[in-house]
Amino acid sequence: MGSEVNYAKSGDVHIAYRVFGDGPRDLVLIPGTLSHVELYWELPINQYLLKRLTSFARVVVFDKRGQGLSDRVAEQTLEERIGDVRAVMDAAGSASATIFGWSEGGPMSLMFSATYPERTSALVLCGSFASAKAEPWAVNQEQWSHFLHQIETRWGQGALVPINAPSRRDDQAFVQWFGRLERASASPGAILALMRANYEIDVRHVLPAIQAPTLILHRVGDRTVPIEAGRYLAQHIRGAKYVELPGDDHLLQAFDQETLDLLIDETEEFITGTRSGPESDRVLVTVMFTDIVSSTERAAAIGDRRWRELLGGYVGAARRQLERFRGREVDVAGDGVFAIFDGPARAVRCACAIRDAARQLGLDVRAGLHTGECEVVGSKVSGIAVHTGARIAAAAQPQEVLASGTVRDLVAGSGIRFDDRGTHVLKGVPGDWRLFAVASA
C-alpha cells in the first residue's frame, strides 16, 4: 500500500490520485458517491480488492473534484468530471486503460468511454445506471427529496450504510468507519450538491456510441440500484457482456468474500482472457482469538440496543489495538475477534491490550494464541493452527490470555512472562497441549 498521493491539474482544479502496482495494462477506478484516496484504501477488503486487481493491472485511483483530497470546488458537471479522468490518466502516464466505474461512477465511465474511445481499452460497470429519474430505475422527486433529507440529517454518522448496505447496519464498527469516511470525503452541503447533480444526469443517449468491449456486473437483489438498471445497460450497449452476481447490498465494501472474488474473476477474465483466482499462500502466523465471557447473559440483562452499543465499542477498541500492533483482522463474528500477526510478541501484547480495553467497558474478555502454518487465500485463513488457536481461547478463564507452548518459546527474550497452566486436551486437535497464561506483557 506504499503508494504516494499525487495531484493532476484539470484546468484550475487539483485532482488527488494514487497508482498501485506495475501490471502490463492500466485500470482506472472511478468511484461511486464517496472517495478518499488515503482513508478509503485502509479498509482490509479494499486492500484485498487492490491486491487482486494489481495482480494483472496497474491500478489508478482518484478523488472526484469536491471530495477527499481533491480541491473542494462546487462545479460538478459531467463534462468537468470526465476532464478530470483524462487529466489523471495524463499525469499517471496512461495512454489507454480499462475504465471501471461503480454505482454513481458509472455515468462518468460511460461518458468518458464515448468521448474518448481511443483512451478506453475496455469498460467495466458494477451496480450502475444510465439515469436515476428515468425508467427502469425512475426515482421520483418525492422519493429523492426524502433520500436527501436522510443524508443531510445523518451525514457523518454512517448515513449511507442502511441505504446501501442493509446487512451491515447493525455492525457498529463498520458504521463508525463509514461515518469517518463520510466526514473525510465531503461536507453535508457538498454531498447534497453532488447528489442533486447526479439526479439530473441522463446518459441513455450515450449508450449506442460505446465502442469499447463492455462488461456489466450487477447484484440480483441490489437494494439501491435495481437489477433492471443493469439489464437496461446491457441491452443498449452493443455486444456488452452481462453478469448477475448474488446478494442484496449495493456497497462494494459489504460484498461477501465469495461474491467479491467472483466480481474480480469476471473482470480479470474479461480484460486478460484468463482468470487466475485468489492466490493461496502457506505462511507462519500467530493466530489470536478473543471473545466476551457470558455475552448472552449480559445482552439479556441490558437489552438489545445497549448491547449493540457496547459491542460496537468493544469491536472498535479491538480494531484500534490491531492497528497499533500491526495485526490483520480476519473476521469479527458476534462477540468474537479473529486476527493474525507476523510476530508472536506483538500478538500477545495486542491480546492483553484488547482485554484491558474491554475491561474499561465493563466486559470480561478471554483470548487464545497459537503460532503455526496457515493457508491464506485472500482474506480467508485456514488450517489446523486456526482450530488450535480457537480451542485455546475456549480453554481460557475470564480476563486470561492463554497461549500455546509454541508461542511461549518463540517470545523468549521479549520480557513477556507466563504462568504454567498445565496440560490440556483440546477438542478436535490431536495430542496433549501445554498451555501458558500471560502474567506480564
pLDDT digits (tens, 9 = 90+) for 135-144: 888 888 899 9
| 8 A C-beta contact, residue 92 and residue 4 | no
Phi, psi of 179 (to 5 degrees): -60, -40
Regarding predicted confidence, which is higher, 133 or 437? 437
Quick one: pLDDT at residue 333?
77
CATH topology classification for 280-440 = Alpha-Beta Plaits (3.30.70)
| C-alpha–C-alpha distance, residues 270 and 252, integer Å | 19
Q: What is the pLDDT of residues 361-400, one digit of tens each?
A: 999 999 999 999 888 776 678 889 999 999 999 999 999 9
Question: Is the per-residue pLDDT at 300 higher than 90?
Answer: no
Closest-CA residue to 53 (of 19, 81, 104): 19
At residue 75, the pLDDT reads 65
pLDDT band at 208 (very low <50, low <70, confident <90, very high): very high
Domains of the chain, by residue range, sit at 6-272, 280-440
Query: What mean pLDDT value characterizes the chain?
Result: 91
Task: Calculate mean pLDDT across residues 99-105.
Answer: 95
Looking at domain 6-272, which CATH architecture does it have? 3-Layer(aba) Sandwich (3.40)
Grid cell locating 345: 510478541
Digit-coded pLDDT (tens) for 246-278: 999 999 888 887 899 999 999 999 999 987 766
Q: Which of 345, 367, 370, 371 is nearest to 357 (CA)?
A: 367
pTM: 0.70
Using pLDDT thresholds of 50, 70 and 90, give the confidence band for residue 280: low
